[in-house]
Amino acid sequence: MTSDNYLEICPDDASKRLDFLVSEKAGITRSQAQRLIKYGFVLVNGNPESPNYKIKASDEIEVNRQEEDNLCLVPQNIPIKILLMDEHIVVIDKPAGLVIYPAAGHTGNTIMNAVAYHCKKLASIGSPLRPGVVHRLDKDTSGVMVVALSDEAYYNLVEQFRERTINRVYKALVLGDFKDDSGVIEKNIGRSDSDRKRMSTRVRRGKPAFTAWRVVKRFGHAALISAKLGTGRTHQIRVHFAAIGHPVLGDDAYGRKNALKIGKGQIDFPRQMLHAETLGFIHPITGEYLEFNADMPEDILSCIDKLEAARRL
């Protein structure tokens, strides 16, 4: 196994079963590998798969064995804004600063600890620490997300994300101004060869990634943009805009632009200025199209006001 729990996939591994590959690469028995897969500790391209999934040479496989040490999701009375909840799904307006589920370094105070408290039941699919999690937002990204509360909803939503039929629109404050009013970024994304915790467009075996964008407001030194995901690669918006020279402001990993000095003043960005504004999908049981919007949080609005004031000087 490579560092940071990612398996090294070789051309000869293509067409092998997932459970066989995990057993072989991680040095565990086939039954142990099947258990990890069953409980969601193994992700293929960020998604759960069945033990008999056939490996592709381009697949990225993550094995999170450290989660085995703590299989209990503790309900915690953490206030969260619920946009919709029924017996199959819960839609949340996630605040910045909360991770989605417990893992090494943050065993509690997560979105899933809150969901376990506020919801009567949880899906049984996925690991015991992240049941029903079908997509993720970074810790410092705010906005709309959905969690499946039933197994049927889980499988349906996973398929919608896989088929890229989910409508996902983000707002972000990015560095600099743009020549054009809109465009599409088409750059492959993969895990960085030099730092496995980061993603990059400068990789040999990246996956296709598409981000459509438009400028909402210009501030000279920065811009507010709207970005619609055509694919859902890890850190896609952050990586794509950094790659074209317009990193998300406040992003420590890809931009490292936590402040802007404008004239005699300075504007600080307390976290990455990225917000999941819109999430639209087909309800997994009723078949109805649902669309949810989360208002821009106060910290981003405050930065927008400061940028606007600086622009007028």
- Which sequence positions are flagged as catalytic? 138
Cβ density class 5-19: b for 16+ within 10 Å, e for less: bbbebeeebeebbbb
Spatial contact of 87 and 148, defined as CB atoms under 8 Å apart: no
**CB neighbour list of residue 264: distance below 8 Å, 6 or more residues apart:** none
Helix ranges (DSSP H) in the chain = 18-26, 30-38, 111-118, 151-162, 236-243, 298-312
| DSSP string over 152-216 | HHHHHHHHHHHTT--EEEEEEEEES--SSSEEEEE--BEE-SS-TTSEESS-SS-B--EEEEEEE
Burial class (CB in 10 A: 0-12, 13-18, 19+), 52: exposed
Distances (CA, A) of 135 to 48, 64, 209, 232, 288: 11, 16, 16, 9, 20
